[in-house]
Amino acid sequence: MQSPINAPSALFCPRSSCKYYQSLENKISKDGTYTTKSDPEPRQMFRCHGGNHRYSETGYSDLFGKHGSFKEYEQTAKLSSHSLSSDAIADILQKDQRTIEQWQRAIGKKCEQFHLFLCVTIGITILFLQMDELWSFVKNKSRQLWVFIALESQTKFWINFELGSRTTHTASRLVKGLKRLARWGKDCILKVTTDKLAAYKNALEKFMDNIHYVYLQIVKRRIMRRLVTVKKFFVKGTAEDFPDKSQNTSFIERLNLTLRQHICYLQRKTLGYCKSKVNFVNIMWINLFNYNYIQVHKSLRIQINNENKKFIKKYQHNTPAMQMKLTNSPLNWRYLLTFPIPYNY
Ligand SMILES: [Zn+2]
């Protein structure tokens, strides 16, 4: 069977007290299954031959000993990407809110590790980059927190995000982060579009100096929330560098809307803004994984030639990660939580 991801993966011993911890020169074999009081679904046991002990597949994430079932972890992840706050999830699953936040932390951390692992080992190709920022609050309504996001528009792949103030500092962290994740071809030209915020220009000049890029700012002017004019300002390059349908920031604006719909902290006119930044980051990672690796994207579907045949699949549905050639099929939460990520990749 074809592996769901395009990166090599191998089992290793996840127990930090073991002599063969994370070692790849150690025989690991499957060793039966078990169930717990809270989870009737069988879990896989492994044997670490070097250290001569058994361990559970939950050892591959921070969920070891967290007293929940995989179904509950999955529900927590799904509800977190359907705009529910942790106290609402706690109410639905009949758990303590602190338990839910603990699970979110473990799941969010695994999402982050998995995303970075895949991007770094396989390398993503960025041809058309769009960046934007969304406002939110932290703790109280007088403290604004901005969420910077970067999107590869051709594959609809959400590359990364940063939380912080609306300054060059945060934009720089964003650009620096995405530069590390991508593979940069020598002769390809990177297209970048953003809004008029000067922070992007500074960040690009500082960190993309050895990469050939063209940069277009879209300046929108609104009066009483109504869009009046859209001006295009070519910071680097000319109109010819941006062929049809690329002189815009539409794709990232569509992603903004998706995020406002899916992340409770980003909803507008609500009291459900964020109480802690750490929890916000976890929810963002859960949503990034959901968006890139699980959800199929309608604009990425490919028609299969079965026009005259009834009841046969007409389209192949793709996730942004499949489009980016990182994965071969949509993934699921269980796959993520039990996936062994080598630490020194
Ligand atoms: Zn071991």
Strands (E), the chain: 28-34, 43-48, 53-56, 128-138, 140-152, 157-164, 190-194, 213-223, 226-236, 302-303, 315-316
Q: Report the separation in Å between the CA atom of 43 and the middle of ligand 1, taken as the mean of its atom positions.
A: 18
Q: Report the separation in Å between the CA atom of 335 and the middle of ligand 1, taken as the mean of its atom positions.
A: 22
Q: Report the separation in Å between the CA atom of 119 and the middle of ligand 1, taken as the mean of its atom positions.
A: 28
Distance CA 131, CA 150 (A): 5
Q: Which among 261, 228, 264, 242 is positioned nearest to 194, based on CA atoms?
A: 242
Q: Report the separation in Å between the CA atom of 114 and the middle of ligand 1, taken as the mean of its atom positions.
A: 22
Q: Report the separation in Å between the CA atom of 50 and the middle of ligand 1, taken as the mean of its atom positions.
A: 6
* Total Cβ atoms within 10 A of residue 123: 14
Q: Report the separation in Å between the CA atom of 111 and the middle of ligand 1, taken as the mean of its atom positions.
A: 24
Q: Which residues are within 8 A (CB) of 4 and not within 5 positions of it... i.e. 6 or more apart?
A: 327, 328, 329, 331, 335
Q: Report the separation in Å between the CA atom of 48 and the middle of ligand 1, taken as the mean of its atom positions.
A: 5
Q: Report the separation in Å between the CA atom of 17 and the middle of ligand 1, taken as the mean of its atom positions.
A: 8
Q: Report the separation in Å between the CA atom of 113 and the middle of ligand 1, taken as the mean of its atom positions.
A: 21
Q: Report the separation in Å between the CA atom of 85 and the middle of ligand 1, taken as the mean of its atom positions.
A: 38
Q: Report the separation in Å between the CA atom of 27 and the middle of ligand 1, taken as the mean of its atom positions.
A: 10
For the cut 70, the answer to whether the pLDDT of residue 71 exceeds it is: yes
Sign of the CA dihedral with 12 first, then 16, 18, and 22 last: positive
Average of pLDDT values for 174-195?
A: 87
Average of pLDDT values for 323-336?
A: 93
Average of pLDDT values for 271-285?
A: 81
- Determine contact, residues 107/81, Cβ cutoff 8 Å: no
Q: Report the separation in Å between the CA atom of 343 and the middle of ligand 1, taken as the mean of its atom positions.
A: 15
Q: Report the separation in Å between the CA atom of 14 and the middle of ligand 1, taken as the mean of its atom positions.
A: 7
Q: Report the separation in Å between the CA atom of 93 and the middle of ligand 1, taken as the mean of its atom positions.
A: 34
- Determine contact, residues 127/191, Cβ cutoff 8 Å: yes
Distance CA 120, CA 141 (A): 37
For the cut 70, the answer to whether the pLDDT of residue 317 exceeds it is: yes
For the cut 90, the answer to whether the pLDDT of residue 297 exceeds it is: no
For the cut 70, the answer to whether the pLDDT of residue 31 exceeds it is: yes
Q: Does residue 173 sit in helix, strand or coil?
A: helix
| Band of residue 67 on the pLDDT scale cut at 50, 70, 90 | confident
Q: Report the separation in Å between the CA atom of 100 and the middle of ligand 1, taken as the mean of its atom positions.
A: 29
Is the entire prediction scored with pTM above 0.75? yes
Give per-residue pLDDT as tens, 135-155: 887 777 677 889 999 999 999
Average of pLDDT values for 327-331?
A: 93
Q: Report the separation in Å between the CA atom of 10 and the middle of ligand 1, taken as the mean of its atom positions.
A: 14
Q: Identify which has the larger pLDDT, 303 or 149.
A: 149
Q: Report the separation in Å between the CA atom of 103 and the middle of ligand 1, taken as the mean of its atom positions.
A: 25
Distance CA 176, CA 180 (A): 7
Distance CA 73, CA 66 (A): 10
Q: Report the separation in Å between the CA atom of 331 and the middle of ligand 1, taken as the mean of its atom positions.
A: 28
pLDDT score recorded for residue 299 = 83
Give per-residue pLDDT as tens, 229-261: 888 888 888 888 888 788 888 888 888 888 888
Q: Report the separation in Å between the CA atom of 2 and the middle of ligand 1, taken as the mean of its atom positions.
A: 28
| Helices within 145-221 (DSSP H only) | 168-181, 198-207
Question: Helices 70-80 and 86-93, interaxial angle, to 10°?
Answer: 140
